Chains A and B, each alone.
Chain A
Amino acid sequence: MAQGPWWPSQQPRHVQAVRFFSDDAAMHEVSLARALVQQVRAIAAQHPGCHVTEVRVSVGPLSGVEPALLASAAQRLFAEHGHPQARLVVQWVELLARCRCCGQQFEVPDLVLRCPGCGAGQVQVMRGDALRLETVQLAEAEQAGAAP
């Protein structure tokens, strides 16, 4: 059996630390809001002359997202990135799952992820476990000032 450390001796003797600051490390709703805003901006960039008016997302019980925190972070980022008119709509969805054994689809109101049909535990979550970008609504920029 080898004695002592296995790693190469050129490994620094001091403890290495990598430090991250707020550009790289953020609270997790902020990280998710950044990913969302980045995707919306990419879509807007494909439609020159348009601005974003509404962004619809859905979240559910296993999304790991607090809707109000997400909304405030996203709203601020939309304004910072040139889409101050963008309105975020967060829709709540119930958990939907599908049995990998018998194929049955079922809602999961109680977070018991077991097939009610055949009792199998191999179920796939279809909806309600992510922050999903549903739709992005765009309007022609030159008509922005006109009454709707």
Chain B
Amino acid sequence: MTSRVIVVERDVQYQPQQAAAEVRRRWAAEGTLVVNLLSSPGAGKTALLEATARRLMGQATLAVLTGDPATDRDARRLAPLVPVVQLCTTGACHLDLAMVERGSTALGLQPDYLFIENVGNLVCPASFDLGEHLRVLLLSTTEGDDKPAKYSKAFRTSHALVVSKLDLLPYVPFSIEAAVADARNIQPELDVLLLSARSGQGMDAWCHYLQRKRQALLPQMAAAPLAWPMEAGESAAS
């Protein structure tokens, strides 16, 4: 029997990644910084967004797409503060670009900052490019400092690590140095921020960080758009 072998040697997600890169360019041209928030369930993504919305109210325009396997509870929490669309995945473990596109169409806005709260999960969301400019991973002090070494892909693909629930640090065995060292082994270029959405500690630095990232995005401020870790020449993009 005659058979032949077709050599492909390409990332299976090549096409979705190209589509995400296009979406990223589109948002940048509209002046919207898109931030994808990743964390395990309950690390404080929604709490951080509530606190951020309160701080930036009147200074910048924000909107949120919030992903959960079930319920619209996070959207209800955020609705008094920001325009929000709940993305309900009916059990699925991550958001993908198509869901985000549906959500942003429903939103129908071009805010200064669009936050995407991913499904609480440190594994699956790491594999999906949502067209974001900034991927931020929240690690709360109550989760233990060993998580960067265990959930390496999520840390590798993130731009920033936010250590959250800093107010609880005195009560839990968590070494910021150990967590940051492990995270920077996997992603040496990771930015690190420490904060508590509850006490407000570190919130000013976080808001300034967002403002700096948005300014770097605006074409008149910088020639090159923000590099995305996987796009900056990782094998996925080649």
Q: Give me the interface of A with B, judged by CB distance under 8 Å.
A: 1-3, 5-8, 11, 15-22, 24-28, 31-32, 35-36, 39, 43, 47, 50, 53, 57, 61-65, 100, 111-114, 120-140, 143-144, 146, 148
Interface residue count on the B side (C-beta < 8 Å): 67
**CB-contact partner of B188 in A3, A17, A122, under 8 A:** A122
> What are the nearest 3 A-B pairs in CB distance?
A121-B188, A25-B92, A1-B58
Q: Contacts A3-B58, A28-B94, A138-B6 given: A112-B235 contact, CB under 8 Å?
A: no
B49 at the interface (CB under 8 A from A): no
Identify whether the interface residues of A are mostly helix, strand, loop, or mixed: loop
Q: How far is the CB of B70 from chain A (nearest CB, A)?
A: 10
Identify whether the interface residues of B are mostly helix, strand, loop, or mixed: mixed
Q: Contacts A15-B84, A132-B12 given: A143-B2 contact, CB under 8 Å?
A: yes
Chain B residues near A53 (CB-CB < 8 A): 3
Nearest CB in chain B to that of A10: its residue? B108
Asked if A18 and B185 make an inter-chain contact with CB atoms under 8 angstroms apart, the answer reads no
Interface residues of B in 80-103 (CB under 8 A from A): 81-94, 96, 98-99, 102-103
Q: Contacts A43-B6, A64-B126, A139-B1 given: A113-B61 contact, CB under 8 Å?
A: no
Asked if B10 and A132 make an inter-chain contact with CB atoms under 8 angstroms apart, the answer reads yes
Asked if A130 and B6 make an inter-chain contact with CB atoms under 8 angstroms apart, the answer reads no
Bound complex: CA of A2 vs CA of B52, how far in Å? 16
Q: How far is the CB of A52 from chain B (nearest CB, A)?
A: 10
Asked if B75 and A16 make an inter-chain contact with CB atoms under 8 angstroms apart, the answer reads yes
Asked if B127 and A132 make an inter-chain contact with CB atoms under 8 angstroms apart, the answer reads no
B29 at the interface (CB under 8 A from A): no
Chain B residues near A1 (CB-CB < 8 A): 58-59
Q: Contacts A24-B98, A28-B127 given: A136-B85 contact, CB under 8 Å?
A: no
B9 at the interface (CB under 8 A from A): yes
Bound complex: CA of A130 vs CA of B63, how far in Å? 31
Q: How far is the CB of A91 from chain B (nearest CB, A)?
A: 12
**CB-contact partner of A135 in B8, B86, B185, B233, under 8 A:** B8
Bound complex: CA of A41 vs CA of B60, how far in Å? 47
Q: Contacts A3-B58, A138-B6 given: A130-B185 contact, CB under 8 Å?
A: no
